[in-house]
């Protein structure tokens, strides 16, 4: 689970030169969320994606290092957004008109892996935000924003008090939410400058927007303080024998569920094959029984 969450929270960066394949991939139960994209060239070829053909020094001087296309982000959204993986060949024809013919270009992509099922909660400034999951599930924070976004928030409408509509966000909101809520069944925090600091000009109304998901993770469930303390090693012989069996059964069920969701076609094939084998064995047993009665 820790490795899964670190992959989800990580900001990925990938690049590919002209004539190469770019490949984006996210872990199980997540999909690609494109953050930004660039296609063109802003650094000399000897620093990134050198030309396949030899160039003289004079040619390198003439190389265009200030060319880009405005359609790269939309192209990446069309090709990869909300998919678990995508791959395609990078060339100028994909992005429309070539902004700098004769200059080798490259594609840069920034993306994250978003859970397939997630929840979003918003709290206005100085209000309390509470997150909770069902029993046997824990909170996994995906993103957190404290401040004022350009689009604003429907839950916390912007009141024009003579202040300009400026976007401002706390740089520590995500880290603080992970520290407070990550791996817990429930948590609460105030959307206040006392907790997150003030990333905006005085007087600008802010809000806290948190995106999270609930995951089945028995090994990371917090300790229930209402339960008696665990027995020491000297009393381990008093532990019920069925506890280990139940945990093993639970682990097997979770593993089987993960396999079925990952490989639905193979699981269906195994199920149909098992049913067919069972029918054949049942038919053989009936034939033997009828033959014995006849004899």
- Helix (H) or strand (E) holding 178, with range, is helix 173-181
- Mean pLDDT of all residues in 246-254: 52
222-238 pLDDT, tens digit each? 333 333 333 333 333 33
Tens of pLDDT along 152-175? 666 777 665 555 567 788 888 888
pLDDT at 222 (0 to 100): 35
pLDDT tens digit sequence for 51-75? 765 554 445 546 778 888 888 889 8
Most confident of 55-64, 239-248, 251-260, 264-273: 264-273
Q: How confident is the model at residue 39 (pLDDT cuts 50, 70, 90)?
A: very high
Decide: 118 and 13 in contact? Cβ < 8 Å.
no
- In the prediction, which pLDDT does 101 show? 84
pLDDT at 99: 81
86-103 mean pLDDT:
86
* Residue from 90, 65, 62 nearest 75 by CA: 90
- Asked if 57 contacts 145 with a C-beta cutoff of 8 angstroms, the reply is no
Contact (CB, 8 A) for 81 and 24: no
Q: How far apart are CA 265 and CA 150, in angstroms?
A: 44
Domains of the chain (ranges, CATH numbers): 1-115 (2.60.120.740), 119-215 (2.60.120.740)
Element housing 37 (H / E): strand 30-41
> pLDDT by residue (tens digit) across 5-26?
555 556 788 889 988 999 998 8
- Count the alpha carbons within 13 Å of 241 in the hemisphere toward its beta carbon: 0
Residues β-bridged to residue 55: none
Residue 38 is predicted with a pLDDT of 92
**Residue 283 reports pLDDT greater than 60:** yes
Q: What's the CA gap between 97 and 233, in Å, rounded?
A: 72
pLDDT of residue 109: 92
pTM over 0.85: no
């Amino acid at each position: 689970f820790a490795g899964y969450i670190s992959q989800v929270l990580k900001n990925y960066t990938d690049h590919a030169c002209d004539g190469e394949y770019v490949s984006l991939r996210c872990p199980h139960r997540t999909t690609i969320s494109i953050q930004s994209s660039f296609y063109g060239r802003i650094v000399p070829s000897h620093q990134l994606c050198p030309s396949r053909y030899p160039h003289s020094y004079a040619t390198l001087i003439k190389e265009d290092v200030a060319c880009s296309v405005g359609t790269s982000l939309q192209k990446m959204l069309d090709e990869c957004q909300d998919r678990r993986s995508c791959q395609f060949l990078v060339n100028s024809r994909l992005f429309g008109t070539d902004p700098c013919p004769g200059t080798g270009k490259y594609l840069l992509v920034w993306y994250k892996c978003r859970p397939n099922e997630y929840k979003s909660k918003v709290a206005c400034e100085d209000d309390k935000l509470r997150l909770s999951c069902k029993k046997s599930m824990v909170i996994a924070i995906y993103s957190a924003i404290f401040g004022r976004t350009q689009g604003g928030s429907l839950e916390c409408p912007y009141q024009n008090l003579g202040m300009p509509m400026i976007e401002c966000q706390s740089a520590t909101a995500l880290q603080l939410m992970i520290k407070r809520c990550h791996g817990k069944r429930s948590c609460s925090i105030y959307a206040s400058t006392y907790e997150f600091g003030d990333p905006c000009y005085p007087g600008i109304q802010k809000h806290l927007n948190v995106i999270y998901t609930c995951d089945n993770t028995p090994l990371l469930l917090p300790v229930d303080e209402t339960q008696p303390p665990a027995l020491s090693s000297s009393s381990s012989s008093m532990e019920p024998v069925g506890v280990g069996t139940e945990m093993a059964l639970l682990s097997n069920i979770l593993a089987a569920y993960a396999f079925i969701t990952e490989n639905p076609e193979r699981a269906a094939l195994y199920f149909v094959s098992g049913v067919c084998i069972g029918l054949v064995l049942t038919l053989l047993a009936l034939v033997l029984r009828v033959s014995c009665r006849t004899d």
